[in-house]
Amino acid sequence: MLRRAKISVIGAGNIGGECARSIAMKELGDVVLLDIPNKDKPELHMPKGKALDLACCGPVENFDAKITGTFDYKDIEGSDVIIVTAGVPRKPGQSRDDLVQINAGIVKNVAENIKKYAPNAIVIVVSNPLDAMVYVMWKVTGFPAHRVMGQAGALDVARYKTFLAMELGVSVEDIQGLLLGGHGDDMVPLPRLTSVNGIPVSDLLPAEVIQKCVDRAKVGGGEIVKLMGTSAWYAPSAGTIEMVEAIVRDKKRVIASAVYCENEFGVAKANGGKGLFVGVPAVLGAKGVERIISFKMNDVEQKFMDESISHVKDLIGATIKLFPDLA
């Protein structure tokens, strides 16, 4: 008898809840939805309530999955994949970097519990600031780099494709594109490698319109925060589930992800000989990050990539300053 994958979601807020729903509906595995008790309302059990509500969708949506809501980290034992969304979401006026002090401590605690209860899991970090939080997860768990990654590129690319499709009046399914580097304002777009069903986007749109789509993708998260007063959750969870599906079904998908790079894309050279977690195209399969797809960038692209790497380096430095044991 085949064993279902066990997928734990740590952080049962908007993104975590949407991830749990997608996992169940796609029948990727059984779900554990974990969060911490509400100090102001100790009588409530939000993850258990969300799990029960989601389970009742099964007869309507025709999916079969065991869904567990819990406060207890022991319930993540035996997890194949763990999604970490825990942390404080962005509010209007905040950058992702503003969240370092709060979220680094939260992710550090989560990582300690993952190391204790699920030492063989593959971990996908969604918490912001993403590039620093993946580093914290990697350092605290001590897991090999191929089992720790961050969801950023899948979301950034999705936004980029969406804005291009809006301008072109075509289906998003026919747009191929790629973004590299840190998550957010310092991401590195590659219009040179963007196409519509194989047709270079530069043949279809003026350079200034392409740049407008690039700029909007860079601040896409901030645009949503201004509109809603909190961070996005539908698209971030969709990007995360794309990664989860590639792993549990061993699909060998090439997905832009925050993974540990050294010589690839000049990361070590730009970071004093050391590796960093940055967004690059990676082959995701049953072993986690199975390969990084590297290619030659032109001088302008490499310049932007070096600048992005420099910002990630500074972000890691700020995190280590707050938590010296992460050095």
Out of 45, 146, 183, 311, which one is annotated catalytic? 183
146 is an active site residue: no
Half-sphere exposure of 216 (CA within 13 A, CB side): 17
113's tokens:
């519990």
Tell me if 217 sits within 8 A of 163, measured CB to CB.
Answer: yes
- Smallest CA-to-CA distance from 81 within 133, 35, 128, 126 is with 126
Instruction: Please list the active-site residues.
Output: 183
